[in-house]
Amino acid sequence: MKPLIRLVLSAIALLGMSHAMSAETQPDAKPELRSTLQDQQAVAVTIYNQQLALIKDVRRITLHRGLNRLAFRDVSAQIKPETALLRSISDPVAIQLLEQNFDFDLLSPRKLLQKFVGKRVRVIKTHPTSGVESEQEALVLSANEGVVLRIGERIETGVPGRVVYDQVPDNLRDRPTLTIILNSDTDQPQRVELSYLTAGLGWKADYVAELSSGDDRLDLNGWVTLTNQSGTSYRQARLQLVAGDVHRVQDRRPAVPMRARTLMGKAAREDAMSQEDLFEYHLYTLERLTDIADNQTKQVALLSAAGIPVSKEYLLKGGDYYYRRSLGDLGKKIKVAVFIEFKNEVSANLGMPLPKGIVRVYKRDSKDNAQFVGEDRVDHTPRNEKVRLKLGDAFDITAEKRQTDFRKIAVVGRYDHASESSYRIMLKNAKPEPVTVTVQEPVPGDWKITKQSHAHEKQAAGTAVWKIQVPAQGKATLTYTVQLRY
């Protein structure tokens, strides 16, 4: 018989089933077959950044020849049923899928009672003094915000005893189950693979870095932190992670301490994650099998690199609001931000695409104790790109900023406004060694520096930058005048 004819005949047979009876209760129907984790031979988990994962679950099952009702148990409770696909690995044409249903109503006292609304149950009461039990039949009228029962000729709210049910409804499962109705050409054991997308699984990268005593070198270790809240466990899974911003169609709906560092470095060497390009993303593969238990946060070593060259920068960044009008005093003891920067390249002992995450930086004190000195979030960073981290504000380096002059000047050409203003920035350094402070001023409109105490660099159309040397326990003053038209 041709496969197409066989598929049509199977569908007709399925539609002819009485909807008042389940497939298990019909006299000529075969019993439901159940597949559990005991049948599982392999599982692969690919996790994306946006709380999305691809599961490939391989199991060994034995079907009846002909029509089957297969309960594929222990799938994710957050499965996207429309993405589920069952196929036979042993014989790709041996099975033909007809229908699939995801039973997400899990067995609980409340759900069981709700399923019996309009049906009869038995209520067992125990006498408070004699302990003798009595049994009454009750009709469940409602189970919305409480229980409403008809017992004999009276209506009762609440449960006046233990409720006894004769059976568990077919559509109420003790664990997430995908029910598949299919035809099989064979009754021999075969390997099948169920693949599907699911929510509830996510990952992020976390980095731990240690600065050298001179702030010119960095040891970097990376963790991958996995979170499984999908409703099932994945035992001895092949784990892969995709870093990148994968586009997804959105439904329209209403609105570590340093002690761990050595262990992490050792794990990274023995069980390192390999990396490869995948379309416009990067794929990381753990080179061993691992268990991902339900309701678990798990950390896996991602990378380990030592002696990365680092540059340190003190940055005083201004604003563009004070160039258009007279303001005078702009601030005293302004904090100067501290940044460190390194390049993700092979010559710096890196060169692996870095997934986005948080970098936490430590430095050892005079007693060789690691102290936390700051953290910053980094985006996905390709090879040969720079990583720039803001660690905080300098304690010993401050600035005072003042507008010393402002006047309007004649408007020329197509401009509506023209002005000239002067500024003084005093930088103070309480450290025992000299420092270099980068002064970055975002200047709006059409501008020109007419006077300055130090030479500036025009880094962008609206940005002027000065590099100011400030002596140890001393100060330095930057003055400049700017003409502005807009």
Interatomic CA distance for residues 105 and 113, integer angstroms: 12
**In angstroms, how far apart are the furthest CA atoms of the chain?**
106
pLDDT at 257 over 50: no
| Mean pLDDT for the chain overall | 86
List the single range of 112-121, 378-387, 398-407 with lowest mean pLDDT: 112-121
Q: What is the pLDDT of residues 121-178, one digit of tens each?
A: 888 888 888 888 888 888 988 888 788 888 888 888 888 888 888 887 766 676 788 9
- CA 74, 76, 77: angle at the middle one, nearest 5? 105
For residue 118, name the pLDDT band (cuts at 50, 70, 90).
confident
Rounded mean pLDDT of 29-37? 84
> Quick check: 424 and 479 in contact, CB under 8 A?
yes
What is the rounded CA–CA span in Å between residue 395 and residue 336? Answer: 8
Query: Bridge-partner residues for 169, per DSSP?
Result: none
Residue 101: how many CB atoms within 10 A of its CB? 14
Q: Each residue of 53-72: pLDDT tens digit?
A: 999 999 999 999 999 999 99
Q: Where in the chain is the domain with CATH 2.60.40.1180?
A: 314-338+393-485
**pLDDT tier, 112 (very low <50, low <70, confident <90, very high otherwise):** confident
pLDDT digit string, tens, across residues 94-105: 999 999 888 766
Instruction: Please report the pLDDT score of residue 160 as a whole number.
Output: 80
Structure confidence at residue 444 (pLDDT): 93
187 pLDDT above the threshold of 70: yes
341 half-sphere exposure, CB direction, 13 A CA radius? 11
Q: What is the pLDDT confidence band of residue 24, given thresholds at 50, 70 and 90?
A: very low
* Token digits of residue 161: 């005893």
Q: Which amino acid is at 475?
A: K
Please give the pLDDT value at position 344: 95
Rounded distance between C-alpha atoms, residue 31 and residue 104, angstroms: 21
pTM listed for this prediction: 0.73
CB 210 within 8 A of CB 93: no
Q: Between the CA atoms of 392, 394, 400 and 401, what dihedral angle is there, to the nearest 10 degrees?
A: -40
Q: How far is CA 435 from CA 246, 265, 390, 438, in A?
A: 43, 34, 17, 10
Structure confidence by residue, pLDDT tens digits, 277-314: 888 888 999 999 999 999 999 999 999 999 999 999 99
CATH topology (fold) of 314-338+393-485: Immunoglobulin-like (2.60.40)
